[in-house]
Amino acid sequence: MNISIIGASGYSGAELIRLLLQHPEANITAIYSNSQAGKAIQDVYPHLNHIFTEQLETIDCAKIQAEADVVFIATPSGVSSKLTPALLNGKIRIIDVSGDLRLETPELYKEWYGKEPITQNYLDQAVYGLSEWSAAAIADAKLLANPGCYPTATLLSLLPLLNEGLIDGKSIIVDAKSGVTGAGRGASLGTHFCEVNESIAAYKVGKHQHTPEIEQTLRKLTGRDALISFTPHLVPMNRGILATSYATLAEGVTTEQVAAAFSKAYEGKPFVRLRPGAYPKTKEVTGSNYCDIAWHIDGRVGRIVLLSVIDNVVKGAAGQAVQNMNIMFGLPETTGLAFTPVYP
């Protein structure tokens, strides 16, 4: 497969390079970044010295269409909506790691992202690529909306229970914690080492753009209602997301029913590890495409607490994108992704 990467100078782009270099079927033919065009990638990312030494180019949709079987778009939001119309025709398949194609309507996008949306017809074509839940649709997708980092961790833990009607979809509270790579590589006071280190804080309470992505996916994939409180936090670490989710259990739900719902959902799914009663650390999935899920039933208050950890740059971005590429091209899901986490 010939592959182009747009936005290769960001953290998700660099991780795509890392993963695709070790993918037996992948051949990165070109990398693009308008802000860093003309530089060699190893000057932007010295860890790639001697390994991958291509030059970053200015984005050129015609050239990408001509060369690539698949293009990954790993830009900040607001860019993909402009590139997609020019890229989407002919044989090329698009995997969009930004958020521009995830929400179901332009109105919703505008409300939560505060940017100009792409038109409805593209949103209608885009397949939401939560690998473990939509493999059939993903296999046929020409335009794939790769899920957000927080939604991936959150949805994988909530879906099995909501799907089986074991929890009340309107009681859900998601308290999520992310490493700083989630904020991207752009320099700002908010990502300055001294401002983040030795501290934790919430941000965008009630306003984060991943909120409607989680809600619409819960509804769509389960056919049940869902309305959530979602609070993201910034943690002084590079990689990792922990989503701690709370939901009221339906009347009479047993421990066995909960376990059965998870087993049913993830039987044979190579990247979900069920760890009932455990306290997964984000570190236990670092560098890998795993999502580890634990649950704790608190009978005293009638709620279940779900703990779901991923590496936000891998399963939350580049890794799931490669997993989706594998599905789209008929390869085993684990091709190029069978990494052991790097611990500690």
Kindly tell me which of 151 and 240 has the beta carbon lying closer to a copy of itself. Answer: 240
Which residue in 134, 216, 282, 312 binds a copy of itself (CB under 8 A)? 282
Which residue in 6, 16, 31, 48 binds a copy of itself (CB under 8 A)? 48
Which residue in 117, 129, 280, 319 binds a copy of itself (CB under 8 A)? 280
Phi, psi dihedrals of residue 70, rounded to the nearest 5°: -145, 140
Q: State the minimum distance, in angstroms, from the CB of residue 68 to a copy of itself.
A: 21
Q: State the minimum distance, in angstroms, from the CB of residue 233 to a copy of itself.
A: 7
Among residue numbers 132 through 171, which ones bind a copy of itself (CB under 8 A)? Answer: none
CA distance 72 to 269: 24
Phi, psi dihedrals of residue 234, rounded to the nearest 5°: -100, 125
**Distance from CA of residue 157 to its chain's centroid?**
14
N residues, the chain: 344
Which residue in 105, 219, 246, 329 binds a copy of itself (CB under 8 A)? 246
Which residue in 254, 298, 332, 334 binds a copy of itself (CB under 8 A)? 298
25: left (phi over 0), alpha (psi -120 to 50) or beta: alpha
Q: State the minimum distance, in angstroms, from the CB of residue 341 to a copy of itself.
A: 4
Q: State the minimum distance, in angstroms, from the CB of residue 28 to a copy of itself.
A: 12
CA distance 87 to 80: 10
Give 137's contacts (C-beta < 8 A, 6+ positions apart).
Answer: 127
Among residue numbers 304 through 343, which ones bind a copy of itself (CB under 8 A)? Answer: 305, 307, 309, 338-343
Q: In what order do the strands lie in the sheet with 56-57?
A: 56-57, 27-32, 2-6, 70-73, 93-96, 143-145, 127-128
Instruction: Determine the size of the site formed for a copy of itself (CB under 8 A).
Output: 84
Kindly tell me which of 106 and 341 has the beta carbon lying closer to a copy of itself. Answer: 341
Work out whether 112 is an interface residue with a copy of itself (CB under 8 A): no
Give the ranges where 223-293 is alpha helix by DSSP (H).
Answer: 255-266
CA distance 45 to 61: 24
Among residue numbers 51 through 80, which ones bind a copy of itself (CB under 8 A)? Answer: 51-52
291 is catalytic: no
From the list 98-106, 123-131, 151-159, 296-304, the region that binds a copy of itself by CB under 8 A is 296-304
Run of H or E including 32: strand 27-32
Kindly tell me which of 102 and 239 has the beta carbon lying closer to a copy of itself. Answer: 239
Tokens of 41: 């990638």
Phi, psi dihedrals of residue 25, rounded to the nearest 5°: -105, 0
From the list 109-117, 122-130, 236-244, 254-262, the region that binds a copy of itself by CB under 8 A is 236-244
Among residue numbers 164 through 203, which ones bind a copy of itself (CB under 8 A)? Answer: 173, 175, 177, 179-181, 185, 187-189, 191-203
Give 186's contacts (C-beta < 8 A, 6+ positions apart).
Answer: none
Work out whether 206 is an interface residue with a copy of itself (CB under 8 A): yes
Among residue numbers 27 through 46, which ones bind a copy of itself (CB under 8 A)? Answer: 45-46
From the list 62-70, 87-95, 285-293, 329-337, the region that binds a copy of itself by CB under 8 A is 285-293
Q: In what order do the strands lie in the sheet with 229-234?
A: 201-202, 229-234, 173-178, 241-248, 303-310, 291-298, 272-274
Active-site residue, from 61, 149, 194, 291: 149
Kindly list the catalytic residues: 149
